[in-house]
Structure 1
Amino acid sequence: MQQLTALYVRYTGEEPASIAQIPGAGSNRQYFRFVGNNGESIVGVIGTSRDENHAFIYLDRHFMLRRLPVPRVLAVSDDELRYLQTDLGHTSLYDAISGGREAGGRYNQKEQQLLVSAIRELPNFQMRGARGLDWNNCYPQPEFDEESVLFDLNYFKYCFLKATGLDFHELKLEANFRMFAKDLTAESGESFLYRDFQARNIMLDSDGNPYFIDFQGGRKGPYYYDLASFLWQASAHYSFKLRRRLVYEYYDALKQYTEVPSVRHFVNRLSLFVLFRLLQVLGAYGFRGYFERKKHFLDSIQPAMDNLRELLKMSSGMFPYPYLMDMLRRLTELPQFTQIEKPAMSRADGYKTTDSKVYEAHPQDGPATFSKYDGKGPLVVRVNSFSYRNGIPDDPSGNGGGYVFDCRSTHNPGRYEPYKKLTGLDEPVIRFLEDDGEILSFLEHVYKLADHHVTRYLQRGFTSLMFSFGCTGGQHRSVYSAQHLAEHIHQKFGIEVQLEHREQHIRQVLNAKN
């Protein structure tokens, strides 16, 4: 870290005002955000492999010459294990579409448009990025070939398949693997194969334009691979209809850069790479999950198996690898990958009998419907403190009042004489509540709930949201809580927050940041 900081000082001529580590995902690379005294930020990277870093640095400089949307490498250490790059901000495509992902794949119009923009930019990156590129700089190899395919298929076999306990004939499976590898590499690929093209590796600028990162594993190869990698991401839950639209958008954009095959041929080739990509990610999830015990990858196994099950169901007879197909079908039927549906409650259970599948999405469902209130203006959040003696505050927007939190379970400073005439805005009360700690634990849960709700309201284009905190007198605990939530939301989201401590007759507006 000292060497990375020294590189920053050498490049900028000053010590950083602050340094914060940026959370990583599956990579061993470490990322840090350096902020200068002028407020400008730069991202510093520490890698464990010089060759991998060299590949990224070379590719980045090549893509910059092609005017492709990537971060710019600013400075590199002599050993190439550390470098600085421009900061593309905090918002990845993965973050921006989290609402639709968490809603089980019901992406709204704004989220779908972000996906379309990213997928239409991909052919530009693949085809123009390949022009004049010296493939010998790629890591760990310059080209997608049979050997690399077999490596990934065996990675699936040893790191995932064997760990499930499924019985299979290894020689028959190996024979099908070799046929599969030959078919995948039957057409020469003249494009840049990103290899890890996924929503986490796409950053968005303030206008929603995509920028690509983490392409150091790229090489020469077929363009189908990246499309399959993106659209069959395990946790994305893209519907059949949305996938079909995005495949069309990609196919249409690809025509601008190269001669394209017929739609039938394109779809058939794409299906091969979808199957390959699903096996490849299961191998990675098996190693990272079963062996390294990383929760994110363990949680990703079931969605990946659901994708595999769906592909097998839709592609009956499509793939000429009978033993592999039979083995994969048996794999999807293993108990650990079969989600057991809970039976509906009966009246004898004390609940109304209902069909547990009423709200289950159909695989070919379209996007969610939209409210007449969507997109009518900026979101304004109202935060109130009140006394339960005087009733819960009215919601002037007519939406019904939002969240109401009861603070009366926390320690009450109003019971003690020194605090009786003070409020939750006064320093002695603040110290009392924070030293006690109960209110901090209470608000920690409130913040998580509020953050998710505000994020979704911003994504949906809603205009009004209200949070209210009540206590006995509307003087101490509720005032403290309302004040802190209002400041938290304003600081994190930069939107207008209208704050009212009703019983104290205090109103405050935290204006939206421009």
Structure 2
Amino acid sequence: MQQITDNIKALFSQYSDAAITIIEKLPQSGGDRIYFRLITDKGNFIATYNTNIKENNTFIAFSKHFKNAHCPVPEIYAVNDDATIYIQQDFGDASLLHELETIGHTDKVYALYQKSLKQLANLQINGDKGLDYDLCITSKEFGKQAIIADLLYFKYYFLDTLKIPYDKEKLIDDFDALSTYLSHVDHKYFMFRDFQSRNVMVKDEEVYFIDYQGGMKGALQYDVASLLWQAKAELSDEWKNKLLQYYISCVEEIVQKPIDKSRFEAQYNGYVLIRLLQVLGAYGFRGLFERKAHFLTSIPLALHNLKWFLFNKHVGIVLPEFERLLQIIIQDDIVKRFQPTKATAATPLVVKINSFSYLKTGYPKDETENGGGFVFDMRGILNPGRIDEFKTQSGLDKGVKDFLEQQTKMPDFLNSIYNIVDIAVEDYITRGFESLMVNFGCTGGQHRSVYAAEQVARHLKNKFNVKIELNHMNKENWRREL
């Protein structure tokens, strides 16, 4: 990591004589990209490190092209010789999703959605002019094959896991019919591909776009469906309908001719369905195959979203076997498979979570009537305490958290713990048990065990709403309730 930051400093010095006062490593998001915020006496900048050269080249080229088309994308200030590091404009930390979660479904947020859709139409249509689609990372166009790929992704990673019998040949025929129908749209321009509220940044009441390097040629409707039907945003039907009409008016203004709204909306509904199923496939892959527990908790919300869509919207094409299966997977018994048992105010269970030092304190004994519980040894995880800058810190400090999350196998370790402990917590809630102890030990009880205890406490609280007593034994017996 030190070598990376040294290279970032060297590149930045070629662009500017501003003094870097702080290099702050940002939370890692998609792919293998690592982001840093450079805080200087002349403003802030974002540095990106990524060994995927093709992805970097695509993002840089797209950014320069869209900037020339007056689209709200970051300016690229400098790129190193091997294209593994680039310096770009900093739009801050506030995304459209952040604004929505912070201030709710207000007039201000609605206006930000309008701005996002207006700028999206500009990016899609004006940004399409002269764009070199040979730069695309995967396919040049989101056509029939790409649509079928998304449908098969849903089939393999979600539908097939439910073990519902179906006629495979008829289902594939329906996939072929739907993909053919949706690939013959009237308006194909640049398709962002992942146009969600977390990729729309908000600064000084204006919106800016990031993470469009996966884009390709495609239907206008796909990106609008991605934004308005994002499950986490939970936009009302009124908002969705009004914002869709606003977007259509923005497109008509740019192309300077009317759009066949009924046909546009029918195909839009088809892309909404594709997007909803693609999301379920992603949740299934991350949750059911990679065993990442927090993706499993998102499945019920996605199924409720799909259920509302099926009862209120029409795709415009008959798909007998596919429609039959979709009606099955939205039934309550299927949804309940992914809904954890939630604790109530009357639930007696208290989960006591401790971090401890094997050398200084030893693991705590469960003094309750039944005893038992879990003890997890964290010493197989690389110790941040060996690094000078972390020696006086703990698992509560950002630097240590970043190190454990991004440079060790801690995420894999915790995912396994979630799978084990969740079984016990759900069973104990159902059976009315009063106590469960979960202990995390490491050499000094300062870094790995503290971090793990904090993460598991947060996970159990969010998933089961169970009472938590969290105790760090090597931190002056620091205890709190969640």
Does TM, normalized by the shorter one, top 0.5? Answer: yes
Structure 1 stretches of 5 or more lacking a match?
102-106, 350-443, 449-514
Residues 43-62 of structure 1: CA deviation (Å, up to 9, x unaligned): 01122421111111110000
Equivalent residue number for residue 34 of structure 1: 38
Equivalent residues in 2 for 1:415-430 (5 A)?
none
Which amino acid letter does the alignment assign opposite residue 179 of structure 2?
A: A
RMSD over aligned Cα, in angstroms? Answer: 2.6
Q: Of 330, 333, 345, which residue of structure 2 is paired with 1:332? A: 330
Q: Which moved more, 1:59-68 or 1:312-321?
A: 312-321
User: CA-to-partner distance for each residue in 1:360-391, whole Å, 9 max, x for gaps?
Assistant: xxxxxxxxxxxxxxxxxxxxxxxxxxxxxxxx
Question: Which residues of 2 match residues 340-351 of structure 1 at below 5 A?
Answer: none
**Structure 2 gap ranges (5+):** 347-453, 459-482
Give the match for residue 167 of structure 2.
169
The 5-angstrom pairing of residues 327-406 of structure 1 reads 327-333=325-331, 335-338=333-336
1:311 to 309, 312, 321: 309
| Cα separation, 1, equivalents of 2:52 and 2:266 | 37
Which AA in structure 2 matches 1:219? M
Q: Normalized against structure 1, the TM-score is what? A: 0.62
- Equivalent residue number for residue 439 of structure 1: none
Kept after mapping to 2: 8 A contact 1:9/1:16: no
Distance 1:296 1:70, change over 3 A: farther
- C-alpha displacement at 1:212, in angstroms? 0.8
**Could you tell me how far apart the structure 2 residues matched to 1:82 and 1:341 are?**
43
8 Å Cα contact 1:189-1:220 kept in structure 2? no
Q: Give 2:91's aligned residue.
A: 88
Q: Which has the larger displacement, 22-31 or 192-201?
A: 22-31
Task: Supply the distance in 2 between the matched residues of 1:290 and 1:12 (Cα, whole angstroms).
Answer: 48
What is the CA–CA distance in structure 1 between the aligned matches of 2:293 and 2:10, rounded to whole Å?
35
Matched with 1:153 is 151
What secondary structure, in the 3-state scheme, does the structure 2 residue paired with 1:320 have?
coil
Shift of 1:165: 3.0
Counterpart of 1:255 in structure 2: which amino acid? Answer: E
Contact 2:252-2:259 at 8 Å conserved across structures: no
1:315 Cα deviation after fit: 3.2
Distance 2:160 2:9 in 1: 44
Q: Which has the larger radius of gyration?
A: 1
Compared with structure 1, are the counterparts of its residues 159 and 226 closer, same or farther at alpha carbon in structure 2 (3 Å cutoff)?
Answer: same
Shift of the alpha carbon at 1:256?
A: 1.0
Return the alpha-carbon distance in structure 2 between the equivalents of residues 203 and 225 of structure 1.
Answer: 20
- 2:71 is aligned with 1:68: yes
CA distance in 2, matches of 1:260, 1:20: 48
Distance 2:244 2:131 in 1: 27
- Residue of structure 2 in register with 1:262 after alignment: 260
Q: Deviations over 1:139-174 (max 9, x none)?
A: 212111111111111111112222233333322211
Matched AA of 2:68: L
Q: CA deviation at 1:336?
A: 4.2
CA positional deviation for 1:5: 3.8
Aligned match of 2:121:
123
Distance in 2, matches of 1:239 and 1:14, equals 46
1:195 aligns with 2:199: no
Shift of 1:120: 2.1
SS in 2 for 1:132: coil
Please give the TM-score of this superposition, normalised by the length of structure 2.
Answer: 0.66
Q: Distance in 1 between matches of 2:137 and 2:186?
A: 19
How far the C-alpha of 1:189 sits from its partner, in A, is 4.1
Cα distance in structure 2, aligned partners of 1:25 and 1:319: 37
Shift of the alpha carbon at 1:300?
2.4
Deviation at residue 241 of structure 1 after TM alignment: 0.8
Match of 1:323 among 316, 321, 324: 321
**Aligned AA for 1:77?**
N
Distance in 2 between the 1:144 and 1:47 partners? 25
1:251 aligned to 2:248?
Answer: yes
> Displacement of 1:276 after TM fit?
0.8
Alignment partner, residue 301 of structure 1? 299
CA deviations on 1:53-77 (whole Å, 9 max, x unpaired) are 1111110000111121110111112
- Distance of 1:97 and 1:122 partners within structure 2: 18
Give the alignment partner of residue 28 of structure 2, picking from 24, 46, 53.
24
Contact 1:140 1:217 in 2 (8 A): yes
Percent identity of the aligned residues?
34
Which of 2, 10, 20 lines up with 1:6 in the alignment? 10
Shift of 1:282: 1.2
Amino acid at match of 1:257: I
The structural deviation recorded for 1:317 is 8.0
Instruction: Find the aligned partners of 2:284 and 2:121 in 1 and give their Cα distance.
Output: 31
Q: 2:180 aligns with which of 179, 182, 185?
A: 182
Contact map agreement 1:130 1:190 (CA 8 A) in 2: no
Q: Secondary structure at the match of 2:212?
A: coil
Kindly provide the CA deviation profile for residues 16-69 of structure 1, in whole angstroms up to 9, marking residues without a partner as x.
321112223343322111112x15211011224211111111100001111211
- Find the residue that maps to 1:17 and give its secondary structure: strand
AA matched with 1:331: I
Which residue of structure 2 lines up, in the alignment, with residue 50 of structure 1?
53
SS of the counterpart of 1:221? strand
Cα 1:299–1:31, aligned 2, differ >3 Å: closer, same or farther? farther
Hey, what does 1:407 align to over in structure 2? Answer: none
Match of 1:279 in 2: 277
- Structure 1 stretches of 4+ moved >4 Å: 338-342
Contact in 1 for aligned 2:269/2:315 (Cα 8 Å): no
CA deviation map 1:304-356 (0-9, x unaligned): 111110111113684411111111111111624149899xx9xxx9xxxxxxx
- What secondary structure sits across from 1:257 in the alignment? helix
Residues 1:329 and 1:26: Cα distance change in structure 2 (over 3 Å): farther
- Say which SS state the counterpart of residue 130 (structure 1) adopts: coil
Q: Secondary structure at the match of 1:256?
A: helix
Q: Is the 8 A contact 2:267 2:316 kept in 1?
A: no
| Cα distance change of structure 1 residues 317 and 266 upon mapping to structure 2, 3 Å threshold | closer
What is the rounded CA distance, in whole Å, between the counterparts of 2:207 and 2:140 in structure 1? 26
Alignment CA distance shift 1:149-1:317 (3 Å):
closer
Q: Greater CA deviation, 288-297 or 133-142?
A: 288-297
Partner deviation per Cα, 1:248-294 (whole Å, 9 max, x = no partner) = 11011111112342221121111111111111111112222222333
Q: Against the structure 1 CA distance between its residues 89 and 180, is the aligned structure 2 distance closer, same or farther, given a 3 Å change threshold?
A: same
